[in-house]
Amino acid sequence: MIPLYKKIMGDLEADILSGKRPVATQVPTEKELSQQYQVSRITSKRALNELETLGLIERVQGRGSFVKAPEKIFSPAKKILFILPFANDLSLGNFNLGLEPVLQEQGYTLLLGTYDLLEQQNIEKMTHEFAGLIYYPDQTQTHLALLFALQNISFPVVILDKEIHELNLPTIVSDNFSGGFLACQALLDAGHEKIAYLFGSQKHGQTARNRYLGYLSALTHRKNFFQTGIDWYVEPENLLSTLRNEQITGLVCENDLLAMRISQQLKNEGARLPEDFSVVGFDDIQASRYLDPPLTTIQQDFSRLGETAGETLLEIIHQGHPLALKKIPVSLVVRQSIALQK
């Protein structure tokens, strides 16, 4: 259940971001919000405090709270903030291999943090302490208000991995569509006719959807009419029987962690890999090469992603905002997890 202060905050954010509440418009008072939402004054005050922290409103003593006009703030700092969803996420490669050398060459230092660090920041603090932000969203709506506020003051921001269509911010992504195509094509080339796409959960993010569309494109290109739908989800305990009942022999997995988990589960239940089921992952994380059998996968060039993000951010800092979407190519890494079908 969403906390009540976040409900109030979200409604006001939506009004501000949509322009329904223009700059300098007064927002409801703590008392008015308390009556409207049937909450305590403490709850309504917290919602207004959060909006103030994000730089969306300003509170004038004796007058109330007003939608704040964006102000461009320049920072002399030569530090870049790089925000990832989680620390030590095995599904993410090392972006820093390409990112740090680019920044260091121009005299910038890099601070790596998670969402917890970002949520300790406000607009004024961030723009004085850092020259720019590289941000990796877990979902496209995460921190949308903060990113919108930074965009409004032309603070340099680069997004990694997912497009946030509501914002005009430069974005660096892997070519996930081509990756899904290559993964499925590898199984088709090995003679597999029934190939399933496995999602890691019933909620499908933008990255997974693009990979899935690449899978569909490969099947269409070969005029292979068997496909699993985007809502096709099998409980783990039913996976082996479902695959056998539908005579599926090829599996394209959303990522390497899922491919590793599925492979181990099928082996534990007596299936032979790759003889019974051929599996392809996505990411080429280090552990994928030590799986038994070693995993055929799609390699993301994390170093180049980091390098491009750094170059793009420096271009914004020194020259202005490029708004192009940049797609970094991926490649197929062939190991031993695909068997030829007779």
Tell me the mean pLDDT in the region 223-243: 90
pLDDT at 69 over 80: no
Q: Which of 78-82, 139-143, 208-212, 311-315 has the weakest average pLDDT?
A: 139-143
Residue 76 scores a pLDDT above 60: no
Tokens of 78: 């030569």
Place of tokens 């890999």: 273
Evaluate if residue 73 carries a pLDDT over 50: no
pLDDT band at 5 (very low <50, low <70, confident <90, very high): confident
The total of other beta-carbon atoms located within 10 Å of residue 277's CB is: 25
The pLDDT value given to residue 265: 94
- 77: pLDDT strictly greater than 80: no
What's the pLDDT score for residue 92?
61
Q: What pLDDT sits at residue 260?
A: 96
Q: Is the pLDDT of residue 310 over 70?
A: yes
Residue ranges of the alpha helices (H) in 4-159?
A: 4-18, 30-37, 41-53, 96-105, 115-118, 123-129, 144-152
19 vs 101, more confident: 101
Percent of the chain with pLDDT over 70: 95
Whole-angstrom distance, CA of residue 299 vs CA of residue 93: 10
Task: Read off the pLDDT band of 74 (50, 70, 90).
Answer: very low
User: Is the pLDDT score of 91 beyond 80?
Assistant: no
pLDDT digits (tens, 9 = 90+) for 113-127: 888 888 777 787 888
Q: What is the mean pLDDT of the chain?
A: 89
83: left (phi over 0), alpha (psi -120 to 50) or beta: beta
Distance CA 143, CA 138 (A): 10
The residue ranking higher by pLDDT, 227 or 14, is 227
Higher pLDDT, 214 or 58: 214
Residues 6 or more apart from 24 whose CB is under 8 A from it? 66, 67, 69
Q: How confident is the model at residue 342 (pLDDT cuts 50, 70, 90)?
A: confident
Least confident of 21-25, 138-142, 171-175, 297-301: 138-142
CB atoms within 10 A of CB 71: 11
pLDDT of residue 128: 85
pLDDT tens for 144-201 read 888 988 988 889 999 999 999 888 899 999 999 999 999 999 999 999 999 999 998 8
76 upstream amide cis, omega within 30 of 0: no
Residue 284 pLDDT greater than 80, yes or no: yes
**What is the pTM assigned to this prediction?**
0.75
Task: Report pLDDT for 211.
Answer: 97
